[in-house]
Homo-oligomer: A and B are copies of this chain.
Amino acid sequence: MEEKNINIGLFDEDEIITPERLSQLLVDKKYAEVKLHVQDLPAPDLAELFSELDERYHSLLFRLLSKELAAETFVEMDSDLQHALITRFTDRELSDILDELYIDDTVDIIEEMPANVVKRILKNSDSEDRAIINRILRYPKDSAGTVMTTEYVRFTGDMTVADALLHIRRVAIDKETIYTCYVTGKDKRLLGIVTAKDLLISDPDIPLTEIMDENVIAVHTHDDKEEVAMKLDKYGFLAIPVVDSESRLVGIVTVDDALEVIIEESEEDFAKMAAITSASDTPYLKTDVFSIWKSRIPWLLILMLSSTLSSAILGSFESALPAVLVLFIPMIMGTGGNSGGQSSVTVTRSISLAEIEFSDLFKVFWKELRVGILCAITLGVATFAKVMLIDGLLLGNTAVTLSVSLTVALSLSLTIILAKIIGAILPLLAKKIGLDPAVMASPLITTLVDAISLIVYFAVASDILNL
C-alpha cells in the first residue's frame, strides 16, 4: 500500500486504536481516553472494532458512545453481535437505540433475530413505528417493500419552493435522504419529484408544481428488490419511490440500499454457482471453519451421490469399450461441463439482471443452438487434429486410429451442442417453477452433462467403431 502520503489531515484506517490497546484502557477505567479514541470513528470501523474486541467489554464500550454514534454503530454490527448486545440492554436502553434507528434498519435487524428478541424490540418501539414495522414485515421476501425506507421528505402540491426549504429544515434531521423529495396529493398519491438541487437553484416564490418532474419512475412494493436496484442503476437515481397498488407513496429505496442489494445478490449467485449453499455476510477470514464446512458439504454430498449415474452408465458400457477410448473420457466430460457452464452462467446472470425471462425461452434456445454448432465445429476440428497429432503421433499411442480420432471429435461436438442447450434452458425452467436459477448453474449441470456425454460417447463409438 502506497497510501502513506495521502493521510495528512485525512482519516486513516491504520490509525484506528487496536482492540488490545482499547481493552487495556477499559480495564484501567480510562474512559475519557477511550471516548477520545472512538468518538470520531466512522460507524463501520467502530463496528469492526467491536467484533475484534473481547465480548465482556462490549456493553461497557457501547455505553461510552454518544446515543447517535451508538445507534449508527449498532446498525453496522453483524447479527450475532447485535443479538448479544440486545440481550444485555435494559428496556430503556433498547428503546433509546430504537428511537435513533431508521425503520428500515430496525426491520433488517428484526429479520435476523429469534422470536423472543423480535417481541422485545416491538414492545420497546413506539406504537407508530410498530405499525410500520409490522406492515413491512408482511411484504414478500426479497420485495421492494422489505428494503424501502419510510422516512422520506414529502411535500404537498400547494407548497412553494420557500415552503419546501422551510419544511426540509424542520424535518431533515430525521430523514434518510433529503435529496429527492416527493410531492403528493391529499390522498398520498404521488404527483411528482423535486430534488434538493431544484429547490436550491429555483426562485423561492415558485410553486412546487411548476418545478416538479411529473414523469415519475416508480416501483411497486411487491417488485423484486434486485429489479428495483437495477432500475436505480439504469436511471442513475439517488432514490426511487415505492408505491402500493393504489399508486400511493409508501416508501423509497435509496441508492445505498440498492448497492447493498446488488452486492448481496451477486455474492449469493457466486456462492450458488460454486455449489456453496449460502453466501456468508461475514468476511472469509472471520468465518469459522465449521460454518464454511457446513455451507460446502451439502452440495458436495449431493453431487457425489448423483455421480452414481455416470458410474452406472460407464459400468454398463465399459466392457464393450476399447481401452483407448477411456483415455478421452475426462476430456469429453470436461469440455461438456465447461460448455454447459458457460451457457448456464450467462443465462443465469441475464435472468438476475432482468435482461431475459421465461418467455424468451425459444430465443435463448435458438441462440445457444447456433453458438453450440459454431463451438462444436471449431472444437471438433481442433480435437480431431489434437488426438491424431498429439495423442497419436507425439505420444506414440498406436491405438489412436483415424476412426478413434473421429469418434472422439464427433462425440465431443455433439456433447458441446447438447451441453450448451441444457445449460441455457435449465436456469430458465428453474425460474419458471420458482427455483433459483443460480442453483442450476455450473455444478448440477455438470453432473447432468457428465452422464449425457458418456451416453453420446458410447453411442457414437458403437456406430463408428462397430462395437
Contact A308 B350 (CB under 8 A): no
CB-CB < 8 A to A318: which residues of B? Answer: 323, 326-327
Contact A303 B338 (CB under 8 A): yes
Asked, given contacts A263-B262, A311-B328, A327-B315, whether A371 binds B270 with beta carbons under 8 Å apart, the answer is no
Could you tell me the distance between the alpha carbons of A7 and B190 in the complex, rounded to whole angstroms?
11
Flag the segment in A63-71, A108-116, A118-126, A193-201 that touches B: A193-201
Q: Which of A254-311 contact B (CB under 8 A)?
A: 255-256, 258-260, 262-263, 266-267, 269-271, 273-276, 283-285, 289-290, 292-293, 296-297, 299-301, 303-305, 307-308, 310-311
Asked, given contacts A200-B168, A214-B9, whether A311 binds B330 with beta carbons under 8 Å apart, the answer is yes
Could you tell me the distance between the alpha carbons of A379 and B304 in the complex, rounded to whole angstroms?
8
CB-CB < 8 A to A337: which residues of B? Answer: 337, 446
Asked, given contacts A217-B10, A315-B397, whether A330 binds B450 with beta carbons under 8 Å apart, the answer is yes
Asked whether A238 is an interface residue with its Cβ less than 8 Å from the other chain, the reply is yes
What is the count of identical protomers in the complex?
Answer: 2
CB-CB < 8 A to A201: which residues of B? Answer: 168-169, 172-173
User: Which residue of B44, B191, B223, B311 is within 8 Å of A234 (Cβ)?
Assistant: B44
Asked, given contacts A217-B11, A290-B374, A375-B300, whether A275 binds B338 with beta carbons under 8 Å apart, the answer is yes
Contact B270 A349 (CB under 8 A): yes
Q: Which of A340-386 contact B (CB under 8 A)?
A: 341-342, 344-347, 349-350, 353, 355-356, 360, 363-364, 367, 370-371, 374-375, 378-379, 382-383, 386
User: What's the tally of chain A residues with a CB closer than 8 Å to chain B?
Assistant: 133
Could you tell me the distance between the alpha carbons of A181 and B343 in the complex, rounded to whole angstroms?
46
Asked, given contacts A304-B379, A356-B284, A375-B297, whether A216 binds B267 with beta carbons under 8 Å apart, the answer is no
Contact B196 A200 (CB under 8 A): yes
Contact B374 A338 (CB under 8 A): no
Whole-angstrom distance from the CB of A457 to the nearest CB of chain B?
A: 12
Interface residues as binary, A194-215 with B (CB distance below 8 Å gives 1, 0 otherwise) = 0011001100000000000011
Asked whether A5 is an interface residue with its Cβ less than 8 Å from the other chain, the reply is yes
Cβ-closest chain B residue relative to A185: B9
CB-CB < 8 A to A307: which residues of B? Answer: 330-331, 334-335
Asked whether A32 is an interface residue with its Cβ less than 8 Å from the other chain, the reply is no
Asked, given contacts A172-B200, A307-B330, whether A374 binds B293 with beta carbons under 8 Å apart, the answer is yes
Could you tell me the distance between the alpha carbons of A216 and B297 in the complex, rounded to whole angstroms?
44
CB-CB < 8 A to A150: which residues of B? Answer: none
CB-CB < 8 A to A360: which residues of B? Answer: 285
- Can you list the 9 inter-chain pairs with the closest CB atoms, starting with the nearest? A274-B345, A307-B331, A310-B330, A284-B350, A266-B266, A293-B374, A283-B355, A311-B327, A289-B370
Binding site for B on A (CB under 8 A): 2-3, 5-11, 40, 42, 44, 165, 168-169, 172-173, 178-179, 189-191, 196-197, 200-201, 214-218, 220, 222-223, 232-236, 238, 243, 245-247, 255-256, 258-260, 262-263, 266-267, 269-271, 273-276, 283-285, 289-290, 292-293, 296-297, 299-301, 303-305, 307-308, 310-312, 314-315, 318-319, 323, 326-331, 333-335, 337-339, 341-342, 344-347, 349-350, 353, 355-356, 360, 363-364, 367, 370-371, 374-375, 378-379, 382-383, 386, 390-391, 395, 397, 412, 416, 442-443, 446-447, 450, 454
Q: A273-B273, A290-B374, A330-B454 are in contact. List 8 more A-B contacts (CB 8 A).
A: A9-B247, A10-B216, A42-B235, A44-B236, A168-B200, A172-B197, A304-B334, A318-B323
